[in-house]
Structure 1
């Protein structure tokens, strides 16, 4: 009897759940569809990638990269007035083709921008657990490091690096430099550097990626090139990073990094935040789907997002 009741309960729970359909796997990366509860304490949600479930779905997550060149086919799909279509994208406007087609196709946005409906940043600084508070700065045998695959001479970060490297030694890794690193070696290498060049490939509001959070997790001081300092300080403590904008020239920055290298006490002040906080990376795709589901479950009002192109690309 208990088994029968348990089975009925599971069926009822499934019928009452908010259903979110992942239209395509973002960048083809699959994830565990049952992890909302364990990862984010989000219950009452059911994720699926089975398009036959489309009529039952309360929400559909569309990843920008897979639909941007195929919008006409979406317009032919019958659609319930109650179903929420969610535009999901984590690439910057500079790396995302504009969307052709109607201005009011989507109901909600899921993005790294704080003013999106479902906000999922690339990472977060959160309160440290007792285990995290035992942090020690890793041993260092390199001063400045940069790991980069995507190289373009017109990128501001490339121009800045070319000038900076005239004044200080930068240990370089990644595809562009023909020094590939495995996933394990990536973090091991990063933690062996005193400073890491957390240079974004394009400059946009709130576009602060894993290039910042990886060194913070690894016990390395990020030197950031991206949106203004004030924008970074909305996400992370002001004394946890160095911003290139704080210096008039790359040479001045190089001199400051050299000075910190010779003053251990000053260098260690960049880790004061670790007494209370720890950095975490977001889980790409699955976190978006779970938080989309939670949002749809809690917000039943009518909603349409008009002028996506104006909002995102300006």
Structure 2
């Protein structure tokens, strides 16, 4: 992770903006890290953004606390700036040829004018800075990990996405999962639009969310995920009805999702996906 902060209360406030693990042990470790930062114990960085600082001075001048950490994406970092303990900006710093990050900037511009029922980060800056491509958004105050969405919340978000594309297409987030959803005082927010696209895949985000809660987070088991994907009263069938789709179209969407999944190196994730695929009658992808 490599968390670097300016230390003290403001450094801890900045760390809370970007260090929000979805797993329980990760949340415990994150809490302890932020406590150490708040107490100003251990190493600190007076300027966590030194590598790209000159061109980002206008953001830094507004902040009195900062934190920066390595992203799960190779070659990328994420930073937060706070002022007076309140979040101001979130910055994603990638290589100049970071195409997913550029895609996120493009979709944040596009979604800015859409009437969505959930929050999307407000893009304030996106450009090449030296050898980096930087995307800056306004940070949300008091944002926290959303946890498992309720049935109505998930159906509400995915129904909006399914009907938000141009013409009859859909706005596909691409990685709609618990770790990309936050709760704020102003409502639910969806972040990390790096794999977003417009496509005729109205059920894809819902299917992905359901599968990921079991495959990655282990919040649900194979029978539960299978039921939500295939049962007439499951989530996929319910969203299909809301969108005016028939059962065969829902089945085709489930099959297409698993057919398009590349193999993963984490054995338990692959085993879970294979278990669901087998249960819905799809040969495991190798």
TM-score by length of 2: 0.27
TM-score by length of 1: 0.25
Give the structure, 1 or 2, with the largest relative contact order (CA under 8 Å, sep 6 or more): 1
Computing the radius of gyration from Cα coordinates, the structure with the larger value is 1
